[in-house]
Amino acid sequence: MKLGFHVSISGSIDRSFDRATELGCSAFQIFTRNPRTWRSKELTTEEVRTFRCKHRSSGIGFVVSHMPYLPNLASPNETIYKKSVDSLIEETERCRELGIRYIVTHVGNHVGAGVEKGRTQLIEALGKAVDEGGLMILLENASSSGNHLGSKFSDLSDIADAVGGTRIGFCLDTCHAFAAGYNLTTEDGLKKTLHKIRETICFNKLKLVHLNDSVGVLASGVDHHDHIGLGHIGEEGFRRILASQLAKRPMIMEVPMDERRGGTENMAKVRELSKR
Give the whole-angstrom CA distance, residue 228 versus residue 235: 7
**Of 229, 265, 252, 235, which Cα lies nearest the Cα of 2?**
252
47 catalytic, yes or no? no
240 catalytic, yes or no? no
- Which candidate in 6, 19, 55, 66 is catalytic? 66
Q: Where are the beta strands (DSSP E) in the chain?
A: 3-5, 27-30, 62-66, 102-106, 136-140, 168-173, 206-210, 213-214, 225-226, 251-253
254 catalytic, yes or no? yes
Residue 128, number of CB atoms within 10 A of its CB:
12
- Which candidate in 94, 167, 210, 249 is catalytic? 210
- Which candidate in 36, 116, 132, 258 is catalytic? 36
What is the phi/psi pair of residue 100, to 5°? Answer: -90, 130
- Which candidate in 6, 33, 55, 106 is catalytic? 106
14 catalytic, yes or no? no
140 catalytic, yes or no? yes
- Which candidate in 155, 213, 223, 226 is catalytic? 223
Query: Which pairing describes strands 102-106 and 136-140: parallel, antiparallel, or unpaired?
Result: parallel
232 catalytic, yes or no? no
- What one-character-per-residue DSSP string does 65-129 give? EE--SS--TT-S-HHHHHHHHHHHHHHHHHHHHHT--EEEEE--B-TTS-HHHHHHHHHHHHHHH
213 catalytic, yes or no? no
- Which candidate in 225, 232, 249, 261 is catalytic? 225
- Which candidate in 47, 90, 140, 155 is catalytic? 140
- Which candidate in 124, 131, 235, 254 is catalytic? 254
- Which candidate in 22, 49, 56, 69 is catalytic? 69
173 catalytic, yes or no? yes
- Which candidate in 94, 119, 148, 176 is catalytic? 176
**Of 249, 129, 149, which Cα lies nearest the Cα of 197?**
249
18 catalytic, yes or no? no
Catalytically active residues, by annotation:
36, 66, 69, 106, 140, 173, 176, 210, 223, 225, 254
